[in-house]
Structure 1
Amino acid sequence: MTDGQAFRYDGKRVVVVGGATGMGAAATRTAAGLGAEVVVLDRAPVDYPVAQFLQVDLGDRKQIDATLDELDGPVDALFSAAGMAAGPAVMRVNFIGHRHIIERMVAEKTLAAGSAICLISSVAGLGWQNHLPTLVEFLATPDFESADSWVSAHEGTNSYMFSKQVINAYVAREAYPLLSKGVRINAICPGPTDTPLAQANSWLGFDKQYREATGTTPLLAEQMGDVMVFLNSPAASGISGVSLLVDSGHVMASIGGSWEAGRPVIEFLMTQNAI
C-alpha cells in the first residue's frame, strides 16, 4: 500500500491489556485515533471513552478466564501492556497472565490469521540470550498454575528483570509457531519513560547523562504507544519475533562505543545479569 492505509486500523477490533494508564493508555488512544474499536482490560478503571472496558486482575487466572468469556468476536490486535515493578504478583502480572490470555485467544481463534500481538518488555531484559536454558525451562511450563509454581520454586525469578527477559525469550520463540497460524508477535523494549510507574521507581535517572549529552528529553508514553500500534499494524506485516529497543539510541550507542559513559551499565545488563 502506498497511501498510508497500512498504518490505519479502520474496521479493526483491538484489545489492550493494561490500557487504563501509561503506555497502554497511549496505545489505546493512538489505535482509536486510527480507526480501531478498542476494548480495554485492566484492574484500574478507564477514565476516557473506549468501546468496552472489562475489569480484570492478571494475578488471578479465574478472573482472566471469566473476562475472556465476555469477549465477543474476533480480535485483530492484542496489546499486552500491563505491568508492575515489584511485589509477590510481579511475574503473574508481567508475564504469566499475559501468556494465558495470548494462548487462550490463539487456541480459540479469537486471534486468528492476520492478527498481531505486541508486549512491553524493557532494556532491563537485555542479555536474555545468556540465560536461555533457564528461560526455556520456565517457558516449558504448560499453564498459569505450573508457571506460578515454577517461579515459587526458583529463587530470584519473581522479579521485574526476569519477567522482561522472559518476554524477550517468549517473543523470539513464539515467532515461528504463531506465524504458522498467521499471527505475528513482537515487543518493545523501552528505555526509561516518563510514566507513573517510572516516576514511582526513580527509573528516569538511568539515562539522564545520555539525555543531557544528546539534548533529548525523557521518552513519553505516547512514543511507546505509537511504536506498539505500528508493530501491530499491517504496515509491519514483515516483522515478527522482534523485541524492539525504543530508547533514543542509548543502548546501541553504548554497545557501539560512541557513548562510552553508558558502556559499563549496558555491559552489565548484557553479560552479567544473573538470574
Structure 2
Amino acid sequence: MLHGKVAIVTGGAIGIGAATAKILAAQGATVVIGDINQQAALQTTEQIRSADGHALFQPCDVRNEADIQALVQFALEQGGLDIMINNAGIGGQPAPLHLTENHNWQRVLDIDLTGVFWGQKYASQAMLATGKGGAIVNVASIAGVGGSPNLGPYGVAKAGVIQMSKTGAIELASAGIRINAVCPGWTETAILEGFEPSAHERMIRSIPLKRMGTPQEIAELIVFLASPAASFITGAEYIIDGGITSM
C-alpha cells in the first residue's frame, strides 16, 4: 500500500514509534527513524532490514529545530517526504500543577509540543514544495482531551498538539496535505516506567477493557491514518483508549 513512499517517524527507536516504523516498512515505505537513542534506533533499523524492509537512522533531538530541519532534508534526499509521524514525547515528572517545577514544565513543552510544531512545520513545507501532498500524524494523548491530574504539562502539551493538528489540517487541505491526531490512553510504553506497580493496577481497573493498549495497536491506527485508505480523513482526533473517555 505504501510502496514508493518515504516516511519519517520521530521517537522511532522504541515503543509506539518503533511499532509504527515496522508497520510502515512492512507496507513498503522507506522509513527514516529520528531519535536521540542511537543504540535502540539502530536496533530497530536492523530489525526492519532483516524483515526485508527499508529503514535508515538520522539522529534527532526534537528540542533542536536544526535537528528536525536536517531530518526532513535527509528524508527528501531519499526521494521525498510523503508521511510524517510526530511521535517523540515524554511524560515528565508527576506533580500537581501548583507544585510543578519550572524546568519540568519547560522540558515537557519543548519536546511534546514545540518539537511537534517544528515537525509539522517543516514536513508541511517540504510537502508543499514537492506539490504531491502528504500525510502528517501527530501523536497526542487522551491527557489532552480532559483534565490530567499530576500530569499537567503533559496534558497541556497534548491538548496543544490536537489543536495544532486541526488548525494545520484546515490550512493545508487544499494542498492535499492531511493532518490528524491520535490520542492513546494508557499504553505499555516507557512513559509508564516511573509509576509504582499500584498505580499500574489502578490504571488497568479504570479501563473498561481491563488492560492497557499495546504499541502495536496504536501503531496500526497511526499507519491507517497515514495511508491512502484514510484519504478523506483530516483534522480528526482519534481516541484509542480501551473505553476510558466513554465513561
Q: Check whether the contact 1:204–1:218 (CA below 8 A) recurs between aligned residues.
A: no
The aligned amino acid for 2:137 is: C
Q: CA RMSD in A?
A: 2.4
Q: How does 1:150-165 map to 2 (within 5 A)?
A: 159-165=153-159
Quote the Cα distance in structure 2 between the aligned partners of 1:104 and 1:20: 21
Aligned to 2:9: 16
Larger Rg: 1
Residue 93 (structure 1) aligned with residue 111 (structure 2):
yes
Q: Which amino acid aligns with 1:39?
A: V
Query: For 1:237-267, what per-residue CA distance to the aligned partner results, in whole angstroms no more than 9, with x for missing partners?
Result: 1111111000122212x1xxxxxxxxxxxxx
Q: Where does structure 2 lack aligned partners over 5 or more consecutive residues?
A: 49-54, 93-103
Give the 5 Å matches for 1:71-220: 71=75, 72=77, 73-86=79-92, 87=104, 88-109=106-127, 112-127=131-146, 159-201=153-195, 204-205=200-201, 207-211=203-207, 214=209, 216-220=210-214
1:190–1:206 distance in 2 versus 1, CA, 3 Å: farther
- Partner residue in 1 for 2:22: 29
Segments of structure 1 that go 5 or more residues without pairing to the other structure are 1-7, 129-156, 255-275
* Secondary structure of 2:4's aligned partner: coil
Give the counterpart letter for 2:138 in structure 1. L
Contact 1:126 1:165 in 2 (8 A): yes
Give 1:111 shift: 6.8
Cα offsets for 1:155-197 (capped at 9, x unmatched): xx98111101101111122221111211000111111001111
- Code of the aligned partner of 2:108: V
Cα pair 1:77 1:111 within 8 Å, conserved = no
Equivalent pair of 1:123/1:189 in contact (CA under 8 Å): yes
Deviations 1:79-119 (A, max 9, x none): 11100112342111112122112212322336743310111
AA in 2 matched with 1:74: G
2:86–2:119 CA contact under 8 A, matched in 1: no
Q: Deviations over 1:111-142 (max 9, x none)?
A: 743310111111101149xxxxxxxxxxxxxx
What is the percent sequence identity of the aligned residues? 28
Partner residue in 1 for 2:65? 61
**How many pairs were matched up?**
217
- More off after superposition, 113-122 vs 194-203: 194-203
Amino acid corresponding to residue 88 of structure 2 in structure 1: A
